Amino acid sequence: MKKIVGVFLILSTTTAFMLPQKKAAVSQPTLKAAIERGKTVYLQRCMACHQMDGGGVPRLNPPLDGASKVKGADKVYLIRTVIKGMTERVEIDGEYYDNNMSANADLTDVQIADVLTYIRNSWSNKASVVSAAEVKAARAKIK
């Protein structure tokens, strides 16, 4: 019984700790607005290759839906990919894709943050938001 209480205490502490954290990071309406704006960018810049459903095109353009890197913690990698594009032969979740990816350095920090937030929170994806400040910091390091 003591053990159970202990676990409960840990759980509730974690939950209590996590909840305000999440709220502080981004409120639901703000997230929704970012996703909406991100979708507009997605339709103009990404949709042609990665498709409406984020499924990509077999062997040409990798899927964003369910992709480990897209959902992953390395946001700098994602920001860099949007800004610089991709021309190397890299394995993505066990598959290779032939097409070069556009460079999108002309997008603003907010646009890149929004489109990444949209991609990370669409279809089956559920991952943390990308902020304009994170894009700004990452962009400063990209040559």
Partner 1 sequence: MKKRVLLSLMLIGATISFVAANDSTIATVKKEVADPVNAGLKIPGGFSASVVADNLGRARHIVATQQGGLYVKLERLKEGKGIVYLKDADGDGKMEISKTFANYYGTGIAIKNGYLYASSDQDVYRYKLDDKGEVIDAETPQRIVKGLWDKRQHASKSIALDDAGHIYVNIGAPSNSCQEVDRTKGSKGMYPCPILDSAGGIWQFKVDQTDQGYHNGIRYATGLRNVVGLDWNQQQNKLYVTMHGRDMLYTLYPEMFDTTVSAELPSETFYAINKGDDAGWPYVYYDHFQQKKIQSPEYGGDGKKAGGEKAIDPLVAFPGHMAPNALLFYTGNQFPEKYKQGAFIAFHGSWNRSPLPQEGYYVVFVPFKDGKPNGKWEVFADGFSGTGVVKNPRDAQHRPCGLTQGPDGSLYVSDDVKGTIYKISYSSK
91 belongs to the binding site for partner 1 (CB under 8 A): no
Position 72: which residue type? G
Q: How far is the CB of 100 from partner 1 (least distance, A)?
A: 4
3-state secondary structure of 47: helix
Query: What's the CA gap between 93 and 17, in Å, rounded?
Result: 34
Q: Structure tokens of 78?
A: 């994602």
Q: How far is the CB of 76 from partner 1 (least distance, A)?
A: 21
> For partner 1, which residue of 43, 77, 93, 133 counts as binding (CB under 8 A)?
43
Q: Does the CA dihedral 76-94-118-105 come out positive or negative?
A: positive
12/44 with CB nearer partner 1: 44
Contact present, 134 and 79 (Cβ < 8 Å): yes
Contacts of 142 (CB under 8 A, 6+ apart): 80, 83, 84
> For partner 1, which residue of 104, 125, 136, 137 counts as binding (CB under 8 A)?
104
> For partner 1, which residue of 20, 68, 74, 89 counts as binding (CB under 8 A)?
89
Q: Structure tokens of 125?
A: 């994806």
Q: Which residues in the 62-81 window bind partner 1 by CB under 8 A?
A: 63
40 belongs to the binding site for partner 1 (CB under 8 A): no
- Contact residues: partner 1, CB under 8 A: 43-45, 47-49, 51-53, 55-61, 63, 85, 87, 89, 98-104, 106
